[in-house]
Amino acid sequence: MKLKFSILFIFICLVFSAVSQKSDKHYSLIMDYPKDAELNGVEGTIIVRFDLNAECSIHNISQDTILGFGCEKALLKSLCDLEEALKKDFDGVCVPMYSAKLPAVFELEKETLSWE
């Protein structure tokens, strides 16, 4: 019998719902776990707040925690991707939102054992 250790990494998933007069849309943004965070075992949750204006632009971004090791950069990139998706899907016309709040969870899955 051989003991095998494996570590699986959970992707960060931000779920965002946007409402327009056309339809309800739901967005899931998936980011790769930042390599530096993975290598250093960094885990935590960042609560990000932002405003969405009528032109589907995200601004006034703030966060409650700094994890470092690339986590904030990955989160900002996903917000840029969200902004582009909203502009495309809603033809640049959104219902403004103020102080929208999303949790970004950075979590490494615990080690699992398997016997071979």
Tell me, what's the pLDDT at 109? 76
Dihedrals φ, ψ of 110, to 5°?
A: -70, 160
In a domain, 2, yes or no: no
Q: How far apart are CA 70 and CA 102, in angstroms?
A: 18
In a domain, 92, yes or no: yes
Tell me, what's the pLDDT at 40? 92
Digit-coded pLDDT (tens) for 70-101: 999 998 888 888 888 888 888 888 888 888 88
| Domain total in the chain | 1
CATH number, domain of 76, equals 3.30.2420
Give 10-residue mean pLDDT values along the chain (116 residues): 31 42 60 87 90 92 92 89 86 86 82 58
In a domain, 101, yes or no: yes
Tell me, what's the pLDDT at 21? 47
Strand pairing of 3-6 and 58-63? unpaired
| Contact criterion met (CB below 8 Å) for 7 and 105 | no
Q: Which pair of tokens denotes residue 86? A: 């909203």
In a domain, 116, yes or no: no
Q: Which of 61, 53, 50, 55 is nearest to 88 (CA)?
A: 55
In a domain, 54, yes or no: yes
In a domain, 98, yes or no: yes
What range defines the domain where residue 51 resides? Answer: 10-109
Tell me, what's the pLDDT at 112? 56
Tell me, what's the pLDDT at 68? 93
Tell me, what's the pLDDT at 86? 84
In a domain, 88, yes or no: yes
Please compute Rg for the chain using Cα positions: 17
Tell me, what's the pLDDT at 58? 92
